[in-house]
Amino acid sequence: MSHTREERIEALGRVIDTLEILRVKCPWDAKQTNESLRPNTIEEVYELAGALLAGDEAELRKELGDVLLHILFYSKIADEKGQFDIADVADALNSKLIFRHPHVFGQTRADDARQVAENWEKIKLREKGGNRTVLSGVPAALPSLIKAFRIQEKAANVGFDWEDASQVWDKVDEEMAEVREAVADGSREQVEAEFGDLLFSVVNAARLHGVNPDTALERTNAKFMRRFGHIEQVAAARGISVADMTLDEMEAAWQQAKSMSDNF
């Protein structure tokens, strides 16, 4: 259902008003700080990511609301400190969007999404008070897989990339060979370093072929869990635990799970 602009503004206003009341009258809401909310915010963002991956419309709407609440909450806390409020947050965002889209609001040309991304990185480097280096904008706290992907994206957006996507496979093969050599003859530190290089090259390959490696791995995680869950169900039906099954029995149950559907 699509609402009018006025209805959307009114709905946001109601949430802001409700939060104002809770901040005064609810003991839990009243005592929250940026520090106490931070772990919950991280959890909510991951729950939103899960809803996006699942394609669950109802769950997505719920999780978007939870994340929105945290944005409003941090803005409310800042307002109480006399720092800024949600209007300042929205105004700053709007100004940044306009500044970083000169192909829409200015004279710069961008014919495709790749050009937009390249322009975006160049603009950020020129912004007063913005990132002083290409990679300084990658958050240090990002999970390693996502961080590798973002590092490679940012480097590619300023021209540091393979000329052809097929070239990356030679790098993947090279790193795989170095892992094998390290496992056979190297120290633990060498093995770790070579596995890191291999993973980084695989992330690069995924990026160059239009695949987000974090999304791909999460789908595989979910698939593994479903199939392993089927093994547990087979074991339970026999009145035993998974640990009591032989490897051949587990493999048979695994193959049975695979045959149920392409996505199981």
How is residue 118 written in tokens?
């390249």
Q: Is residue 82 part of a domain?
A: yes
Residue 125 lies in a domain: no
Is residue 207 domain-shared with residue 219, that is, in the same domain?
A: no
Query: Do the domain assignments include residue 247?
Result: yes
- Please report, for the domain that includes residue 144, its CATH number: 1.10.287.1080
The answer to whether 209 touches 165, Cβ cutoff 8 Å, is yes
Structure tokens of 54?
């699942």
25 lies in the same domain as 77: yes
pLDDT at 129: 56
Shared domain check, 43 and 21: yes
pLDDT tens for residues 114-159? Answer: 777 777 767 776 665 555 788 988 988 889 999 999 999 999 988 8
Residues 222, 205 share a domain: no
Q: Is residue 113 part of a domain?
A: no
Task: Give per-residue pLDDT as tens, 176-188.
Answer: 999 999 999 989 9
The count of C-alpha atoms lying within 13 angstroms of the C-alpha of 181, restricted to the half-sphere facing its C-beta, is 10
Segments in the chain forming alpha helices (H): 5-25, 27-31, 34-54, 57-80, 86-99, 102-105, 113-126, 144-157, 168-185, 188-208, 213-237, 247-260
Same domain, 56 and 28: yes
Exposed, middle or buried by CB within 10 Å (0-12, 13-18, 19+), for 2?
A: exposed
- Domain holding 233, by residue range, is 214-260
Q: Is residue 28 domain-shared with residue 73, that is, in the same domain?
A: yes
Do residues 176 and 209 lie in contact, with contact meaning Cβ atoms separated by under 8 Å?
A: no
Which of the residues in the chain have pLDDT under 50?
A: none
Instruction: Classify residue 204: in a domain, yes or no.
Output: yes
The whole-number pLDDT of residue 78 equals 97
238 found inside a domain: yes
Kindly state whether residues 190 and 251 are assigned to the same domain.
Answer: no
Asked, for residue 112, whether it belongs to a domain, the answer is no
Q: Could you tell me if residue 130 is inside a domain?
A: no
Say if residue 147 is in the same domain as residue 232: no
Query: Which pLDDT score is estimated for 260?
Result: 87
Tokens for 231, please give them: 């093994």
Same domain flag for 10 and 94: yes
Same domain, 76 and 31: yes
Q: Looking at the structure, do residues 160 and 204 belong to the same domain, yes or no? A: yes
The answer for 142, left when phi > 0, alpha when psi is -120 to 50, beta otherwise, is beta
- What separation in angstroms does the CA of 127 have from each of 17, 99, 118? 35, 9, 15
Tally of domains within the chain:
3
Cβ neighbours for 169, distance < 8 A, ≥ 6 positions apart: 205
Q: Is the pTM of this model over 0.75?
A: no
- Cα distance from N-terminal residue to C-terminal residue, the chain: 33
